[in-house]
Amino acid sequence: MKITRIAAYQVDLPLHEGRYSWSGGKSVDVFDSTVVVVETDTGIMGCGECCPLGPAYLPAYAAGVRAGLKELAPSLLGLDPTRIDVLNRVMDAVMKGHPYVKSPVDIACWDILGQTAGLPVCELLGGRDGDDVVLYRAISQTSPGEMAASVRSYRKDGYRRFQLKVGGDPDTDIARIHEVALQLQPGDKLVADANTGWVLHEALRVVRAVRDVDVYIEQPCLTYEECRAVRERTDLPMVLDEVIDGLSPLMQAASDRAMEVVNLKISKLGGLTKARQVRDFCTSLGIAMTIEDTWGGDITTAAIAHLAHSTASDLRFSSTDFNSYVTRSIAIGAPQRHNGRMTATASPGLGVTPRWDELGSPVLDVH
């Protein structure tokens, strides 16, 4: 089998809530997503998606996905998309870094491999474990009272995991955590995600003020060293996200016992192939994981579901259904949330079909 064409489509994904806000006053109103379609000489085609969380979250930006693909795609024509490790080595040889550019290509090739094998991607990634995947809801940063109301509202949709966007003024963040904690019921889990937004003295004030709350602290500061310094001064469970961008930092953090949970984002790591490698390392070491991506629509949600559903169920901390945050559906067959949970689809490949009328004309077409 050979790759004969790689096309990219740009889609805008508005939000039901209108705006998503997190640390440092950062926000996104409309997500800019890129859908990649890989065609082959057999007629089988696969799709992938990459949607950065704006340009200021990770070293990634929406137009960069398309610019990078323009450089990368010509080198991939003629390769066998089912030999995914070989394809990844070629991608890494012709373009250094830029994992988020490679991610949608890698996902599309897993979709092709699944269709070729007649198996859902989750079966190829290790096999479906359990009935479904527990989802978290990200609670956009607003006033403490509004965030508590948001948690009450999303619990009615079945969510039991809540990720509060903090990382702002420490006094307000302390109020946010306390006010939301009053809403919790037995079995709920609360994460306060600072998204690198606190400097060290602020982080230490917050963890001290909420020491009696049942809350996880996520990525309090910008650097790994600062996060470790917070960790040494608190007994609250710790989640690392932004600083775990590959296997090497994960190995360091695991060796230092720097966290109990890591957030694995598919595009941050460079696709399902590399996310699987990091996932399997965490599994061997007993580190729990949130399996997700930076953002996206139906195709990203399908890829997340397959990776999450094939992860050991006792190490699945949570996952996320980004397609429920956005007002627009870009593919048929994507997982849909049911009572705060989702399942990977049983169809071969990712199990999704792009809605071509929503994608419009390709912005990049290499053949």
Which phi and psi angles does 258 have, rounded to 5°? -85, -10
Residue 218 tokens read as 């996520």
Nearer residue to Mg ion within complex by CB, 275 or 331: 275
CB of 324 to Mg ion, least distance (A): 18
Q: Taking contact as CB under 5 A, which single stretch among the options 5-13, 65-73, 126-134, 185-193 is the one that binds Mg ion?
A: 185-193
How distant is the alpha carbon of residue 35 from its chain centre? 16
293 part of the interface to Mg ion, by CB under 5 A: no
Nearer residue to Mg ion within complex by CB, 126 or 249: 249
Residue sitting closest to Mg ion (CB): 241
Residue 158 tokens read as 């079945």
Of 26, 102, 265, 274, which one is the catalytic site residue?
265
Active site residue 274: no
226 part of the interface to Mg ion, by CB under 5 A: no
What gap in Å lies between CA 128 and CA 311, rounded to an integer? 8
The single residue among 32, 49, 226, 241 that binds Mg ion, judged by CB under 5 A, is 241
Active site residue 165: yes
State the binding string over 141-180 for Mg ion (x if CB under 5 A, else -).
----------------------------------------
Q: Is 318 helix (H, G, I), strand (E, B) or coil?
A: strand
What gap in Å lies between CA 313 and CA 58, rounded to an integer? 28
Nearer residue to Mg ion within complex by CB, 91 or 236: 236
111 part of the interface to Mg ion, by CB under 5 A: no
Q: Taking contact as CB under 5 A, which single stretch among the options 69-77, 190-198, 265-273, 356-364 is the one that binds Mg ion?
A: 190-198
SS (H, E, C) 124-138: HCCCCCCCCEEEEEE
CB of 46 to Mg ion, least distance (A): 28
Number of H helices, E strands in the chain: 13, 18
What gap in Å lies between CA 317 and CA 98, rounded to an integer? 27
What gap in Å lies between CA 164 and CA 182, rounded to an integer? 14
Residue 240 tokens read as 């690392």
Specify the length of the chain in residues: 367
DSSP lists the bridge partners of residue 366 as: 6
Q: Taking contact as CB under 5 A, which single stretch among the options 16-24, 175-183, 193-201, 203-211 is the one that binds Mg ion?
A: 193-201
What gap in Å lies between CA 203 and CA 118, rounded to an integer? 49
Looking at residue 240, what DSSP letter applies?
E
CB of 86 to Mg ion, least distance (A): 32
The single residue among 193, 226, 292, 293 that binds Mg ion, judged by CB under 5 A, is 193
Q: Taking contact as CB under 5 A, which single stretch among the options 14-22, 113-121, 165-173, 238-246 is the one that binds Mg ion?
A: 238-246
Nearer residue to Mg ion within complex by CB, 36 or 207: 207
Q: What is the largest CA-CA distance in the chain?
A: 61
State the binding string over 330-359 for Mg ion (x if CB under 5 A, else -).
------------------------------
Residue 166 vs residues 21, 154, 288: alpha-carbon distances, Å: 10, 18, 22
Of 165, 189, 268, 274, which one is the catalytic site residue?
165
Q: Taking contact as CB under 5 A, which single stretch among the options 29-37, 121-129, 191-199, 337-345 is the one that binds Mg ion?
A: 191-199
DSSP lists the bridge partners of residue 34 as: 10, 50
Residue count at the site for Mg ion (CB under 5 A)? 2
Residue 279 near residue 306, CB atoms below 8 Å: no
CB of 284 to Mg ion, least distance (A): 23
Task: Name the residues that contact Mg ion, by CB under 5 A.
Answer: 193, 241
Catalytic residue numbers? 165, 265
